[in-house]
Structure 1
Amino acid sequence: MRFFFLLLFLLVTQTNFAQVLSHKNGVYTRADSLRGSLRPERTNYDVLKYNLYVKVDIDNKFISGVNKISFRTVNNLKKMQLDLFENMQIDSIKYRGKNLKYTREFNAVFITFEESIQKNKEHTIDFYFSGKPIVANNPPWDGGFIFTKDQNGKDWVSVAVQGTGASLWYPNKDHLSDEPDEVEIHVAAPNGLMNVSNGRFLGKEKIDDNYTVWNWKVTNPINNYNIILNIGDYVNFSDQYKDLDLDYYVLSYNLEKAKKSFKEVIPMMDCFYDKIGPYPFPEDSYKLVETPFLGMEHQSAVAYGNFYTKGYMGRDLSATGVGLKWDYIIIHESGHEWFGNSITAKDIADMWIHESFTSYTEAIYIECRWGLEDALTYLNGTKQTMVTNHSSIIGDYGVNSEGSGDMYFKGANMINTLRFIINDDEKWWNILKKFTTQFKHTTTDTSNVIQFFEKETGIELTAFFNEYLRYAQIPKLQFKKESNQIYYRWQANQNNFNMPVDLVTNNQNTRIYPNNTWQKLSKKIAKKDFEINLKKFYITTNLAEIK
């Protein structure tokens, strides 16, 4: 049984956690810096809009199109960096009807204007491109296009590029810190198939005997990797939650399965609206779109490929049974609409802001449906099956490197611990809703998140977050016994670590306030009469070793 869960863990850590890019042992290349860093060629302008036209030649696995990129200059701009993978062809880059000069270095494209564009000006360039984009071998865990067939032998196409980068298939400013304020997506797909992209459907137009253009528009800020196309034999059905339009696009032969399975969206929305606030993109609607890969948080067009089963492809990641009560992909990927899509990290090194909070939404949903004890059971189970504590959750900044996969479930248990440090559920849920409201549609970083929670809780939390995010090992609550007196302290990486924790005595919680120095435990509490509430506090301890 232990071997089974080890095997499950190895499988999931290879597959469940994004497409990059964990630590590279501190060794980075020029290509990493070009992708991950912010230089004047990127910071001197702000992207306002992408107007993306793409034609997909499925038979030849070839795409062509243009991205009309509108931007505002932040400073005078002579040279700008955009990004497009080096295997893709640049057909031309036009500005005011003239071709612009450019150079390429790895996946970066440096464009030079004849004269500097002055500060605070708005302009548009037309970036024409074509080529055979990288095809993913194992989507969504390595990035690329997916060209496959459905069960009826009809073409089914999608793309998944989180971490790998949206510049794998279309030109853009490929950095988390800058999101276009709006996007139009126009996809020419073979006649007889439908394309589903982000936002609202604007209509379709048959352009010749072979292709129809499907038009979509996003009116909210959106990250590059969330911009998507899905081409297949789709059918659509709809629902409503309050004033939020719910649309579902599934393969034609899965319609009845989907109608049953996607009923879970309504209780999910009930829960999330109550606990973390309203859906952040109502103008663009909420959609689930069946995809030929497991899932991805594509904003307002969430990718779904969990086979209409409970759990994670029919498995329980927590090994407790609780994970089989609900559809992991619906809940997790939809949770990203709040954490990751609405609240976005400025640098991929801070990807924990996406994944830790989103993984915690799984427990929030469980608590709404089946109660706190099941939620704690699930979280506690993931500590055993899903967390390694081998390297830090935060990655290296400026080189496109995220931290370890522990950002998911170690991060979720960290957030759960914070809840019980606060020890006031009404305050906790209000803080989470204020977080999603105050940071809505923004990019942020670890420092700003910590400052927010310190302000809202009135508690110094820098040492707490640093301990869990910047070090591999979790804190250890040490005990020792001298002359029938029990002492306790924290063994932690942070010298000023002083997190409170609850002891359970006679089914009652007794709060203690350890720090890095030895303190006496009240003589009223005998060692045999207490245990540590490890479901609520993610720590280790030597308590069992004390005689």
Structure 2
Amino acid sequence: MKKIILFSLLFTGILGVNAQLLQEKESYTKGDTLRGSLRRERNFNVREYHLNVKVDPGKKYIEGHNRIVFVPQEKLHTIQIDLFENMDVDSILYRGKPLPYRREYNAVFIDNSKGFQKNRKDSITFYYSGNPIAAKRAPWDGGFDWKTDKNGKPWIATAVQGTGASAWWPNKDHQSDEPENGMTIKVAVPNGLMDVSNGRLTGKKDLGNGYTRWDWKVTNPINNYDVALNIGDYAHFGETYKGLDMDFYVLSYNLKKAKMHFQEVKPMMDCFQEKFGTYPFKEDSYKMVETAHLGMEHQSAVAYGNKYMKGYLGRDLSGTGIGNRWDFIIIHETGHEWFGNSITSSDIADMWIHEGFTTYSEAVYVECRWGYEDGQAYVNGLKQNVRNDRPIIGDYGVNKEGSGDMYPKGALMLNTIRHMINDDDKWWQLIRNYSETFKHMIVDTEMVLNFFEQETKLDLEPVFDQYLRHKDIPVLELKREGSGTAYRWVVDADNFNMPVDASINGKTVRLHPTSEWQKLDVPPGGISVATDRFFINVKVGKQP
């Protein structure tokens, strides 16, 4: 699996405890716990997956098997593998003999009377079949996206983030464990169609039964939800750009316009590799695959469905017009190759680590192309999308994401920290160090916090706490006091002492508010707080 790295934590356990206390109270089923928690039956590390599946578009039916290579961390007589309950378990073989199993919700408990031995590499082969759930509106609800192209040919893709990879293939469906040696993906589809999956194409074989099998190999660890099938009448083009193999698979009738449109990948890759470090899956190549759904960050096989438009299906999510200069899906979904695919959160509750950083990468791209001012205008335009409805961090252990604010508010928090540091050379070095230090690793919020604190020497715990674990952003309260102004923070987080910049008489001054009133010898009207650099609200009260 991708190793969960251990840092010497400066604030051991504090944030984790607070998070549990601050989440909205919701009721969860045992099925949620089986999916979201690391129970004893999951105390094994996956080394490899070897997935082999046949897809029948007419019947919307799949059948196949997955050989799972794993190492138990203790002697286990029962292990948990996940597969949605609407799918059939045909058999589970261990050393050529069937093992008994039982099903509970979407979990399959597999018994071995002799036990799987601690620290000894072992494997099972899981045979299965059925009609996987169909996505009603991919990628927002997960499953198979069964579509046809304008020529009536099957055009099929998987998109299962959140829903779970176990919607269509058996695996240990938890973000904390990825196959450290990668995986093979073999997909048989009707002759005349192609499957594009993750990694590199290693070959294809006519099976002689009206099907052709396409074989792919992933060298790097991979998120379960990133494993993808893309089936269609695809045409391919590509090139090696500055040492990186880039391949594009598009519907055959879109080949000409795709060759023009995807030129944007080059300046994007220049920008991201400068700011975030070398593309993290170079061994597996970079691919973009046209899909009927809008897009997903499928590792080394990014799903693209933005209809060759600028913006987000022609719209600018920032409301500034800047977002219509570039293709949102190309930029955002590729940003995930660094943030989400390479650096992965151990629990879905910490998905802000994927989405906040990736949304910030949009502003990074704008800054690379058009300069700092436009980058700042873009990220500030995202404020209109912040709802402040609930905390960004979800509930742990039950497969529960937090608020969708993880996208814009997460990006705006990072932009705030940039301006707390107030040194762009240090900021870009921090972001690159973060990306390279945690490359191909599993992290959580505490680990990100501790890394940022160690690199910046700043007390960032209250900042992370307020933006991530509470629904409201900080409020800087100002009130007239005599001929001057008193100011303080109004926040939920303890010991909140974030500095903030303000313009006073045309001069930039750094203020250091706390929860206690402090005074400036300037009336409130003479103070302009830098809300474009710090994501806060300012409240001006009346003189008591």
In which range does the TM-score fall when normalised by the shorter chain? over 0.9
Q: Distance in 1 between matches of 2:501 and 2:56?
A: 61
Partner of residue 538, structure 1: 535
Structure 1 residues 331-340 or 487-496, which shifts more?
Answer: 487-496
Partner of residue 55, structure 1: 54
Q: Distance in 1 between matches of 2:256 and 2:348?
A: 39
Where do residues 140-179 of structure 1 align in structure 2 (5 Å cutoff)?
Answer: 140-179=139-178
Partner of residue 131, structure 1: 130
Where do residues 41-440 of structure 1 align in structure 2 (5 Å cutoff)?
Answer: 41-43=41-43, 45-181=44-180, 182-384=182-384, 386-440=385-439
Q: CA deviation at 1:59?
A: 0.5
Percent sequence identity over aligned pairs? 58
Q: CA deviation at 1:520?
A: 1.3
Q: Distance in 1 between matches of 2:127 and 2:411?
A: 42
Q: CA deviation at 1:24?
A: 7.6
For 1:315, give the aligned amino acid: R
For 1:37, give the aligned amino acid: S
Q: Distance in 1 between matches of 2:120 and 2:510?
A: 58
Q: Does structure 2 conserve the Cα–Cα contact (< 8 Å) formed by 1:241 and 1:269? A: no
Q: Distance in 2 between matches of 1:417 and 1:159?
A: 36
Q: CA deviation at 1:378?
A: 1.3
Q: What is the SS of the residue equivalent to 2:272?
A: helix
Q: CA deviation at 1:209?
A: 3.9
For 2:113, give the aligned amino acid: E
Q: CA deviation at 1:507?
A: 5.0
Q: What is the SS of the residue equivalent to 2:399?
A: coil
Change (3 A) 1:545 1:133: farther
For 1:203, give the aligned amino acid: G
For 1:206, give the aligned amino acid: D
Q: Distance in 2 between matches of 1:416 and 1:290?
A: 32
Q: Distance in 1 between matches of 2:494 and 2:349?
A: 24
Q: CA deviation at 1:530?
A: 2.9
Q: CA deviation at 1:77?
A: 1.5
Partner of residue 13, structure 1: none
Q: Distance in 1 between matches of 2:101 and 2:171?
A: 15
Q: Distance in 1 between matches of 2:301 and 2:165?
A: 16
Q: What is the SS of the residue equivalent to 1:542?
A: strand
Partner of residue 18, structure 2: none
Q: Distance in 2 between matches of 1:506 and 1:514?
A: 19
Partner of residue 465, structure 1: 464
Change (3 A) 1:86 1:506: same
For 1:493, give the aligned amino acid: D
Q: Distance in 1 between matches of 2:508 and 2:40?
A: 55
Structure 1 residues 503-512 or 293-302, which shifts more?
Answer: 503-512
> How many correspondences in the alignment?
521
Q: CA deviation at 1:545?
A: 6.6
Q: Distance in 1 between matches of 2:129 and 2:24?
A: 31
Q: CA deviation at 1:240?
A: 2.4
Q: What is the SS of the residue equivalent to 1:334?
A: helix
Q: CA deviation at 1:232?
A: 0.3
Q: CA deviation at 1:494?
A: 1.3
Change (3 A) 1:167 1:526: same
Note the alpha carbon deviations across 1:391-430, whole angstroms, 9 max, x for none.
0000000000010100000111011001000111000000
Q: Distance in 2 between matches of 1:428 and 1:546?
A: 39
Q: What is the SS of the residue equivalent to 1:215?
A: strand
Q: CA deviation at 1:504?
A: 2.0
Q: Distance in 1 between matches of 2:435 and 2:326?
A: 24
For 1:358, give the aligned amino acid: T
Q: CA deviation at 1:241?
A: 2.4
Note the alpha carbon deviations across 1:144-191, whole angstroms, 9 max, x for none.
101111011111111100000000001000000000121100000110
For 1:538, give the aligned amino acid: F
Q: Distance in 1 between matches of 2:321 and 2:210?
A: 49
Change (3 A) 1:545 1:151: farther
Q: CA deviation at 1:483?
A: 1.3
Q: Distance in 1 between matches of 2:74 and 2:348?
A: 25
For 2:117, give the aligned amino acid: Q
Partner of residue 33, structure 1: 33
For 1:251, give the aligned amino acid: L
Q: CA deviation at 1:260?
A: 1.2
Q: What is the SS of the residue equivalent to 1:60?
A: coil
TM-score, normalising length: structure 2: 0.94
Q: CA deviation at 1:377?
A: 1.2
Note the alpha carbon deviations across 1:220-267, whole angstroms, 9 max, x for none.
000101001111000111022211101000000111111111111110
Q: What is the SS of the residue equivalent to 1:538?
A: coil
Partner of residue 9, structure 1: none
Q: Distance in 1 between matches of 2:54 and 2:159?
A: 17
Q: Does structure 1 conserve the Cα–Cα contact (< 8 Å) formed by 2:479 and 2:542? A: no
For 1:408, give the aligned amino acid: Y
Q: Distance in 1 between matches of 2:79 and 2:481?
A: 67
Partner of residue 451, structure 1: 450
Q: CA deviation at 1:379?
A: 1.4
Change (3 A) 1:545 1:379: farther
Q: Distance in 1 between matches of 2:119 and 2:525?
A: 69
Q: Distance in 2 between matches of 1:504 and 1:326?
A: 33
Change (3 A) 1:472 1:439: same
Q: CA deviation at 1:526?
A: 4.7
Q: Does structure 1 conserve the Cα–Cα contact (< 8 Å) formed by 2:483 and 2:523? A: no
Note the alpha carbon deviations across 1:268-320, whole angstroms, 9 max, x for none.
01111111111111000000000110000000000000000000000011111
Partner of residue 10, structure 2: none
Unaligned runs of 5+ in 1: 1-22
Q: Distance in 2 between matches of 1:128 and 1:135?
A: 21
Note the alpha carbon deviations across 1:59-80, whole angstroms, 9 max, x for none.
0000000000000121111110
Q: Distance in 2 between matches of 1:322 and 1:215?
A: 41
Q: What is the SS of the residue equivalent to 2:63?
A: strand
Q: Distance in 2 between matches of 1:312 and 1:112?
A: 48
Unaligned runs of 5+ in 2: 1-22
Note the alpha carbon deviations across 1:341-379, whole angstroms, 9 max, x for none.
000000000000000000000000000111111111111
Q: Distance in 1 between matches of 2:458 and 2:56?
A: 57
Note the alpha carbon deviations across 1:89-134, whole angstroms, 9 max, x for none.
0000000000001000000000011201221101110000000000
Q: What is the SS of the residue equivalent to 2:366?
A: helix
Q: Does structure 1 conserve the Cα–Cα contact (< 8 Å) formed by 2:176 and 2:346? A: yes
Q: Determine whether 1:503 maps to 2:541.
A: no
Note the alpha carbon deviations across 1:7-38, whole angstroms, 9 max, x for none.
xxxxxxxxxxxxxxxx8841101110000011
Q: Distance in 2 between matches of 1:117 and 1:471?
A: 43
For 1:261, give the aligned amino acid: H
Q: Distance in 2 between matches of 1:243 and 1:171?
A: 35
